Amino acid sequence: MKKPYLLALTAFFLSSCAANVIVRQAPDAAKPMRIAVLPFRSAAGFPESGALAYEAFSTYLLDLKGYNVIDRGALDQLIKEQKLTQTGVIDQDKAVEIGKLLGAEGVVLGAVTEYIQRNNLMFPPAKVSITARLINTKTGEVEWTASQTRGGLNRWFTWIVWPVGIVATVISPSAEDQVQRVSRSISSTLKKELAAQRAR
């Protein structure tokens, strides 16, 4: 097998699926919807993963037209009063209740469903999967849903295409970096989908 083909094959396995976004209703850009981003549920065994996604989404969603994101300070204070943590589980009913207390018209609920760290050369590249949805606090309906997975590589493939697979593993993004990439990618896709719906 020639080297260029190996590189192309490796790139294929390293590539991630595009963000999957479904928008039910886009808010009027002239009348922004007031939303709160709630703490994300962490992946099993990695309690810090939810906090990483929470921080990233809170930042990237600020760039979306049609939404005014509530300041983290007020949200964190309320979460503390409600005795919730950034790794705690918040169900939809509780999320809507918190949103109403904050005066939010919508709340973003999310979870890190997969978080695989790159430990050493014997393991595949880091892999991260995140899901998120916006819930209307007045109707309880889901305004949009989003999900994406980035990274990952089968261990057998890493060794079959050695040393290309090993090099690809070593230089691949860390799990922390993948959280940022997924959050940014979902936000970017949401921005395009919201704009497309308003243009219809």
Task: Give all strands of the β-sheet with 33-37 in edge-to-edge order.
Answer: 20-23, 142-151, 127-136, 106-116, 33-37, 67-69
Residue 170: the pLDDT is: 61
Query: Which stretch of DSSP H or E encloses residue 115?
Result: strand 106-116
Instruction: Give me the residue spans of the domains in the chain.
Output: 20-151+174-195
Assigned token pair, 158? 């890493």
Low-confidence ranges of the chain (pLDDT < 70): 1-17, 82-89, 119-124, 152-171
pLDDT of residue 122: 52
Supply the pLDDT for residue 165.
53
Please enumerate in sequence order all residues whose Cβ is within 8 A of that of 37, keeping only pairs 6 or more positions apart, or say none: 54, 57, 58, 61, 69, 70, 75, 107, 108, 110
Q: Write down the CATH number for the domain with range 20-151+174-195.
A: 3.40.50.10610
3-state secondary structure of 42: coil
| Cα separation, 101 vs 107, whole angstroms | 11
pLDDT per residue as tens digits for the range 171-185: 678 889 999 999 999
pTM of this structure: 0.81
Q: Could you say which DSSP state residue 105 is in?
A: S
Question: What is the predicted pLDDT for the residue at 80?
Answer: 76
